[in-house]
Every structure is written in structure tokens, then in C-alpha cells.
Structure 1
Amino acid sequence: MILSMTGFGRSEGVFEGKKITLDLKSLNSKSFDLNIKMPVRYKEKEFEIRKILNERILRGKVDCYINLETLNDTAEAHINHELVRTYMNELKNLAADGPDFEYLKMAVRMPDVISTKQEELGEEEWLFLQKLVDEALGKFEDFRQTEGQILHEELKRNIHNIETYLTMVQPYEGVRLEAVKERYLSTLKEFKQIDETRFYQEMAYYTEKLDISEEKVRLTQHLKYYTEVMKNENNNGKKLGFISQEIGREINTLGSKANHAEIQKLVVMMKDDLEKIKEQTLNVL
């Protein structure tokens, strides 16, 4: 089954006056590359969150954003009086003139003067956050599946196109050999003596050289295998990439042996569909 590496999922909820929003989004990547941005409050749980996401997402360039908004301003503010006095004294020493109020306004803007005390992360809040992670992952996986169905249809259409072009090659195979034979015969007629044995040896050599039956068989097998893997195997993106490379090799060999304008045109159309397959396969999980 095809799953897209592109995904998006969002969940949000309110826990004891705090609104928590979690966004997940991913693009294609050769491995699992996770970037997490979260409030300091949840930093201690980053490892567990990474583990959960890795087990479910598997592969892709993933961004996870956790936003925390306090709906009820219940945090206790603490002013460091001693630090304020120290800042004010230092400011006075730098500039002796001026009212104390002005120094006070400057001092309270200094680092670490005002701090807020937050409660420690409790087990219930952590369980609530885990629930949001699971909910976002569920939506994320649904998105991947929907995108995967679209990818599947596009890939199936491109594979079918290559199969169709391959069947269109057959009528030209005999024509090109006859063309080679006639060209050799017309050339040999210019000579008084014709060595028929040598003529047929040359024809046998060129027939073997131009034979594309093996390439056609292998290409047909690769196309069939690609379809089977796409339909029946999970997390098959890398495998499909390898098969598409083999399809490319057979198409290239077929083109180098073609020796016929119409076959070359069909090969070009096969390559066009193959490039689409390769591009789309990069986004398969």
C-alpha cells in the first residue's frame, strides 16, 4: 500500500487554563529528520515525544510545533528587590543626575529582575499532552494515506503508459531488420561477386546486435514487479526507487539498440513517464 511522505496533522486542547496546540508536518527525506519546537515546560519530555513520533512516522523531514497559551493568568510574579537596588545603584554611578524613578524604570527592564513561578509538569498534564500527540498523529497518518492514494493512481497510470509504449514497439522490429537487409543487398549489388555466406553471417551478426527481445522481457518483468510491490508491500518507497532504476536501465538499452526512428520516439515517451515515476517515488514512504 502506498503512503505519502507528505503529511499534516493538528490537535489542540485545554488543560487547567492552558491551551495546548500541536502541529505536525512532513516532507520527503531519505531518513527520519525531526525538528521539534516546544515550550520549556515540556522540554523534559522531548525524548519521549521524539520516540513516539519516530515509531509512527518512520521516515521524512518532520516539523513538530507545540504551542502553549495561558488562558488564566495564574502564574506568580516575583520581583528580585535586591537585584533592582543593585541595578539602580550602578545606573546612578554611571549618571549621577536624574530622579530615582527614572533609574527604577530602567532597572526593572534588566535581566532576571522579574520572574514567574510555574508549577512542575504533572502526570495528568503529561498524559493529556500524549493524547494530543496521538490525536495529531492519527490525522497525520490519514493525510498520508489520502495523498498515497493519489500517488498510487498517478504511478499506476505512468506504469501503464510504459507498458502500452512497449507493445507499440513490436510492429517496427521486423521492419528495421528488413531495412538493414535491403541496405546491405543494395550495397553488395555494386560488386560483381557476392559471397552469400559472408552476407548471411553479417545479417546474423546485426540481427543479434539489434535484438531487443531480452530487454522487452526484463522491462515487462520490472514493470510488473513495481506494480506488485506498490500494491502489496508497506513502507515500500526505497524498494520502488531501486526497481525504477532497473526500469531505466532496460529502457536505455532498448533505446541504444533501437536503430529505428519510431522506436526511438516510443523510447523517449517511456523515459518521460519514467521521470515522473522517479519523481513521485521520492515521496513514497
Structure 2
Amino acid sequence: MHSMTGFGRAELEKDGHRISAEIASLNSRFLELSFRLPRFLYGLESVLREFLTPRLERGKVNVNVRWEEKDRPAWAFDPSQVKAFLDWLKVAKKKFKLKGEPKLEDLLYLPWWVKEDLGEAPQGALELVQEVLTKAINELNRARIEEGRRLAEDFKNRLNLISREVAEIEKEIPAHKEAYRQRLETRIKELLGEGKYDSVRVEQEVALMAERSDVTEEIVRLKSHIEGFGAALSVGEPVGKRLGFFLQEMGREVNTLGSKALAATVARRVIAVKEELEKLREQVQNVE
């Protein structure tokens, strides 16, 4: 099981080129790819999208590629722009009666200190970018697998809590039925007096109540969904949507259990199960 959250970074130096790639992934229902590329690689975006799509199932993925040439200056300086700016400052200083002189550090924030950019993609650029992206994806996947392992452990712990609560509910139901029969009998005696009620009618009423409040099928289905959820955690393929389906079905069965609850203790256990399901639902959104 993989998480959709992760980060991978890789660098490559070859033939005088230095390329780095960063891939950051967040949870999303579908695969959403966004790129930040040097201008001369814009034309390769569609090819890179096709390259990455089969390697990423789901997630909001941001891809950032940097390219540097080892034998080219990192920054360019335009003296004519600096001179034009200083001339403009002199005019503005005189016109608005400003004080002070420009300093060198003030110039560092201005746009003529721009990074060199290649005019066109060098030969073999696509292959180099794909190579560094492959390394970054491997790092991303390692991070996602590790996060997925931690999520799976948390899921198993919460499933165990849910299973224990369901087992307790199952054990308590027969006692609650008998308690209901006794309460009903006592209430009728209070209203009609001892010996003035129909015991057969009371038993019929108890049987009808037992039929209406029977949760055997719900518990059987809930246990089945819990088992299916647990089994999916060890499947070596994307299971996020499958886990979401199991949680939806578990929630439906638990809601029915709550509506049929005969005692406050069962209702409290149902609430505890719902709390764990909600926590699982939040975490499953991060699963690929």
C-alpha cells in the first residue's frame, strides 16, 4: 500500500549539463500533474506528461526541473540597463527633491540580474530529463511506500479496536433482549396490576421487538467488511478507492446498528466505532 504523499529529488551531471528534478505529491482523487520547466523545455511538457502518467496512479503531483550548463555563466549583467536606471534616479531625485544615493546592494534586487537561459533544448535533452525524473520517481516511491507502511499499521490498530467493540456488541445483545422483556413485563404489571396481564401477549411483544432489533445480519456484514479492509492493506496495487468503499459499507452497517440499539451501552460502543471509522476515512484519502 502506497501513500499519495511524498517527495523525491534527484540530480544528474552529464556532458556538461547539470539537471535536477523534484517531485512532490499530495492526495487527490485523480492524477493531476503540473510542471515547472525551463523555457527551452516547454515543448517537451506533453511528452514528459505521457512519460510520468503510467508511473503515477493518483495524486496532485508537482514536477520541478532545473537545468544548468557548467560552462556558461550563472548570471547575466546588463550595463545599459543599470545606466538607464541610475539616470532615471538622478532625474527623480532632482524633480522630487529626494535625498540619499543608490547603493550596490539596492541593484541586486533589480531584474537585470537574470539567470542565463538556453535558447533551445540541447541535443538529447529529453533523454536526460527522463533519466533524472526516473531517479526522482524512485525516491518519491520509496517515501510513499514508507508512509504507506505507517498508515497500514495505524489502520490495523484501528481495525482491531473496531473489531473488539463489535464483538462486545454481539455479546451484549441477548442480555439486552431479556432486559427489555423484564422492563416491559414490569411496566405492564404497574399499569394493570399483578396477574391481570396476558403473559402470552407480552412474549409476543418481546418476540416482535427482538425481530425488529435483530442485528445479526448487520454484524455479519460488518465483520466481512472489516476482514476485506484488512486484507486489502497487503495487496501490492493501488487500493485507496477500494478502502473507501469498505469504509462506506462499514458506516452503513454501523448506522443500522445504532438505530436498532436497545441499550445505552450498545449506543456508546456504536459511537466509538463511528469515531474510529471517521479517523480511518480521513487517512484513507492519503492512500493511492
Question: Do 2:38 and 2:117's aligned partners in 1 also have CA atoms closer than 8 Å?
Answer: no
Question: Which deviates more, 121-130 or 246-255?
Answer: 121-130
Structure 2 CA distance, aligned partners of 1:125 and 1:232? Answer: 37
TM-score by length of 2: 0.81
SS of residue in 1 equivalent to 2:248: helix
State the partner residue of 1:5. Answer: 4
Runs of 5+ consecutive residues of structure 2 not aligned to the other structure:
89-110
Structure 1 CA distance, aligned partners of 2:264 and 2:133? Answer: 58
User: Could you give the per-residue CA deviations for residues 107-149 of structure 1, whole angstroms, max 9, x where no partner exists?
Assistant: xxxx9xx9x8946424433222211011111111111111111
Shift of 1:212: 1.5
Shift of 1:175: 2.1
Instruction: Give the alignment's Cα RMSD to 1 decimal.
Output: 3.1
Structure 1 CA distance, aligned partners of 2:269 and 2:188? Answer: 32
User: Could you give the per-residue CA deviations for residues 141-185 of structure 1, whole angstroms, max 9, x where no partner exists?
Assistant: 111111111111111111111111111123321221122111111
State the partner residue of 2:169. Answer: 169
From 205, 214, 217, the equivalent of 2:217 is: 214
Question: Which deviates more, 249-258 or 167-176?
Answer: 167-176
State the partner residue of 1:54. Answer: 53
AA aligned opposite 2:20? T
State the partner residue of 2:282. Answer: 279
Structure 1 CA distance, aligned partners of 2:60 and 2:221? Answer: 35
State the partner residue of 1:249. Answer: 252
Q: How does 1:13-32 map to 2 (within 5 A)?
A: 13-32=12-31
Question: Do 2:39 and 2:117's aligned partners in 1 also have CA atoms closer than 8 Å?
Answer: no
User: Could you give the per-residue CA deviations for residues 188-247 of structure 1, whole angstroms, max 9, x where no partner exists?
Assistant: 223153223322221111111221211111110110111122223511101110110100
**Among the aligned pairs, what percent are the same residue?**
33
Structure 2 CA distance, aligned partners of 1:50 and 1:15? Answer: 23
Q: How does 1:47-196 map to 2 (within 5 A)?
A: 47-73=46-72, 118=118, 120-190=120-190, 191=192, 193-196=196-199
Shift of 1:15: 3.7
SS of residue in 1 equivalent to 2:197: coil
Question: Do 1:10 and 1:139's aligned partners in 2 also have CA atoms closer than 8 Å?
Answer: yes
AA aligned opposite 1:47? S
User: Could you give the per-residue CA deviations for residues 226-285 of structure 1, whole angstroms, max 9, x where no partner exists?
Assistant: 112222351110111011010011111111211212112211211121111111111110
Q: How many residues align structurally? A: 263
C-alpha change, 1:164 and 1:117, in structure 2 (3 Å) is closer
TM-score by length of 1: 0.81
Q: How does 1:257-268 map to 2 (within 5 A)?
A: 257-268=260-271
Runs of 5+ consecutive residues of structure 1 not aligned to the other structure:
82-86, 92-110
SS of residue in 1 equivalent to 2:3: coil
C-alpha change, 1:233 and 1:214, in structure 2 (3 Å) is farther
C-alpha change, 1:199 and 1:147, in structure 2 (3 Å) is same
Structure 2 CA distance, aligned partners of 1:257 and 1:37? Answer: 55
Structure 1 CA distance, aligned partners of 2:203 and 2:118? Answer: 93
Runs of 4+ in 1 over 6 A off after TM superposition: none
